């Protein structure tokens, strides 16, 4: 019997009780060794945390003015659903993939966050909206003549990670993880158990137990 009944309860548990290192450890135990997005993908602010379902977006490079500036960007934004995460990959990071008005649109639609394998801009205006955005850093270069969205709700490769629509995305200050749907129940049941166990181990170590003895007793380190 899981501790959650639906996505909303699961995402709340993830943000309250879990952190990416413990979930990553569980994925390793299942043989899923490459589920962290590239380490340069960071939250704009250290306390930002996100949990939701992936809505992947495919980007490509373009060169100069386009017949349809930004490609399918507005269409991708306008169909975001509650608790989904806009996750953009592709192109060669020639410009900003995210900014103030994109944040306002996604936030208003009750999406759970944005993760882009590229840059963001409008940093103060994004931060003041208090909504989680993860990117490779800030860079003001505009995207209209440099990149566009060519597809969405499609599988993408983000770094070395394959992401399917509906996979769970979990991000915090230590990184961003993709949890494939076929493993999600097992992963989060085990992760919640491990996170609780780590608190017990820490208490034992702080009480004087050696790390060697603690690992022998609890199997957690």
Annotation-wise, does 174 bind a ligand?
Answer: no
Annotation-wise, does 122 bind a ligand?
Answer: yes
**What is the rounded CA–CA span in Å between residue 25 and residue 174?**
13
Q: Which class for 179: exposed (0-12), middle (13-18), buried (19 or more C-beta within 10 A)?
A: buried
Annotation-wise, does 101 bind a ligand?
Answer: yes
List the structure tokens of 18. Answer: 């879990």
Short-list 79, 66, 130, CA closest to 105: 79
Annotation-wise, does 102 bind a ligand?
Answer: yes
Contact 184, 54 (CB under 8 A): no
Place of tokens 């900003």: 96
Q: Which residues are annotated as a binding site for Mg(2+)?
A: 122
Q: Which residues are annotated as a binding site?
A: 99-102, 121-122
Q: Which residues are annotated as a binding site for substrate?
A: 99-102, 121
């Amino acid at each position: 019997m899981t501790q959650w009944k639906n996505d909303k309860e699961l995402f709340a548990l993830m943000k309250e009780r879990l952190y990416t290192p413990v979930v990553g450890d569980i994925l390793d135990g299942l043989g899923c060794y490459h589920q962290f997005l590239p380490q340069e993908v960071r939250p704009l602010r250290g306390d930002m945390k996100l949990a939701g379902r992936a809505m992947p977006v495919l980007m490509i490079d373009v060169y100069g003015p386009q017949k349809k500036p930004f490609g399918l960007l507005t269409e991708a934004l306008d169909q975001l659903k509650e608790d989904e995460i806009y996750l953009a990959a592709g192109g060669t990071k020639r410009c900003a993939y995210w900014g103030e008005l994109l944040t306002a649109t996604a936030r208003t639609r009750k999406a759970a966050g944005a993760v882009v394998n590229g840059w963001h801009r409008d940093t103060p205006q994004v931060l003041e909206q208090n909504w989680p955005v993860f990117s490779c850093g800030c860079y003001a270069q505009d995207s209209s003549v440099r990149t566009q969205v060519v597809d969405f709700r499609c599988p993408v490769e983000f770094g070395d990670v394959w992401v399917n629509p509906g996979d769970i995305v979990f991000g915090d200050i230590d990184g961003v993880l993709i949890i494939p749907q076929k493993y999600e129940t097992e992963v989060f049941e085990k992760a919640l158990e491990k996170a609780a166990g780590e608190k017990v181990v820490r208490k034992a170590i702080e009480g004087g137990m050696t790390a060697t003895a603690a690992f022998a007793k609890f199997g957690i380190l």
